[in-house]
Amino acid sequence: DAGITQSPRHKVTETGTPVTLRCHQTENHRYMYWYRQDPGHGLRLIHYSYGVKDTDKGEVSDGYSVSRSKTEDFLLTLESATSSQTSVYFCAISLNRLEGETQYFGPGTRLLVL
Amino acid sequence: TQLLEQSPQFLSIQEGENLTVYCNSSSVFSSLQWYRQEPGEGPVLLVTVVTGGEVKKLKRLTFQFGDARKDSSLHITAAQPGDTGLYLCAGARSGAGSYQLTFGKGTKLSVIP
């Protein structure tokens, strides 16, 4: 258990509204990631962070922004939600290990955009 | 671009049977991870393999990393209903100060009692 929580766990919203998802970790890990998981596409990286205020884009970053003002929190914002952003969103952290980069995942947030 | 191809996508077998899931790529990875995911939950790490040719065993699960570090396999012996789930492979590549994982689309395994 890497001490990762996500909130909310479920959300229904309407097209055009802003949505913020929160990822919280308790173990001071440097690297944090946001993924979305969709049928037929698997897990795809949206954004990641390698420190406070240090973030970078992933494979599917359009329509998303992130912020990390504290080590423990990584926020994902959909500025104006669209139906194509209906998905399950996972936060992950990584541990610095000699055996490669292993990531640990939170429980996920199910987002439905109507 | 799908860098990691997993096969098969779906697998339904009887309890006690053996099975193998494959993860293939044309890219070289510094390491490869296998995860299992159950409905409504996040992926849970099973194993990380780092060295080409490496074999790791986790009870009835055997993981192998290809010699060229481009492919991997997961073999389950005498499958149990508790093995049911989505199995994901993920390859790690370094860049921009952090490793990034590229995931396969997964193999959905159903083990029928």
Per residue in B51-100, pLDDT tens?
A: 999 999 999 999 999 999 999 999 999 999 999 999 999 998 765 555 67
The DSSP result for A27-90, as a single string, is: S--SEEEEEEEETTTEEEEEEEEEETTEEEE-TT-TTEEEEEEETTEEEEEESS--GGG-EEEE
Residue B1: pLDDT over 80: no
Residue B73, both tokens: 């396999």
Residues of B at the A interface, defined by Cβ within 8 angstroms: 30-33, 35, 40-45, 48, 50, 88, 90, 92, 94, 96-101, 103-106
Q: Are A20 and A77 in contact (CB under 8 A)?
A: yes
Give the pLDDT mean for A60-78: 96
Nearest CA in chain B to A5: B42
Distance from C-alpha of A5 to C-alpha of A105, rounded to nearest angstrom = 9
* Stronger pLDDT, B30 or A95, i.e. the higher one: B30
CB-CB under 8 Å, A99 with B31: yes
Q: What is the pLDDT of residue B94?
A: 65
Give the pLDDT mean for A47-53: 91
For residue A3, what pLDDT band results from cuts at 50, 70 and 90?
confident
